[in-house]
């Protein structure tokens, strides 16, 4: 599986491509940042992000795009810019028929470091180790994009099984691997009279 991870942002939008499957060593194919000038008009910045992501999609042909899920912060302006950049990434993927996976920052941190409260330095260090790199990718947005891709590769098999189970349940049939046939119950054990 080849995943394009996108750490959305208006000034710096981290992008990274990781290839591999869960349980095997992963390979980084590319990492970088799509930048826009902070003093540029918003619409032009969004077009620049779209063009940058389209370039990455053309060049690396991922199977899926993993985007950081926007979460509430105290700074509404930052949240809006992140949400807008996130929407552009999802639009670019959807236009090509690529699946989009959203992962929260804490999910990504937990998947990569084992702790949902890890800081950026810890995430960068683990990405460096997991991908066998010489140094952490810079800036941190680039490392975060790789972490998103790693998180998706590791979580996708479980998410797929859960989705199959939900779909099967809605259709009224057992999920793949589930026991079929009647459910039997064991009568409760009754204690005898006490002396």
- Catalytic-role residue among 68, 107, 134, 144: 68
Active-site residue 107, yes or no?
A: no
Active-site option among 40, 58, 119, 141: 141
Asked about 19 being catalytic, the answer comes back as no
Task: Give 161's contacts (C-beta < 8 A, 6+ positions apart).
Answer: 175, 176
For residue 68, indicate whether it is catalytic. yes
Strands, E, within the chain: which ranges?
Answer: 2-7, 12-19, 27-35, 64-68, 100-103
**Tokens 């807008």 found at:** 84
Strand order across the beta sheet in which 100-103 lies: 27-35, 12-19, 2-7, 64-68, 100-103
Residues with catalytic annotation? 7, 68, 141
């Amino acid at each position: 599986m080849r995943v394009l991870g996108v750490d959305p942002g208006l000034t710096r939008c981290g992008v990274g491509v990781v290839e591999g499957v869960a349980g095997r060593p992963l390979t980084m194919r590319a990492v970088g940042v799509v930048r826009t000038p902070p003093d540029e008009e918003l619409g032009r910045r969004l077009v620049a992000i779209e063009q940058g992501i389209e370039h990455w999609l053309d060049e690396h042909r991922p199977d899926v795009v993993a985007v950081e899920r926007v979460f509430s912060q105290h700074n509404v302006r930052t949240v809006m810019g992140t949400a807008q950049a996130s929407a552009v990434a999802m639009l670019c993927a959807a236009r090509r028929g690529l699946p989009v996976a959203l992962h929260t920052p804490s999910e990504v941190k937990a998947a990569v470091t084992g702790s949902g409260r890890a800081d950026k330095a810890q995430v960068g260090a683990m990405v460096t180790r997991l991908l066998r790199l010489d140094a952490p990718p810079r800036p941190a947005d680039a490392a975060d994009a790789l972490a998103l891709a790693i998180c998706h590769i590791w979580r996708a098999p479980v998410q797929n099984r859960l989705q199959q189970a939900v779909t099967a349940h809605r259709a009224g049939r057992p999920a793949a691997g589930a026991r079929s046939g009647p459910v039997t119950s064991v009568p409760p054990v009754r204690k005898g009279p006490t002396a």
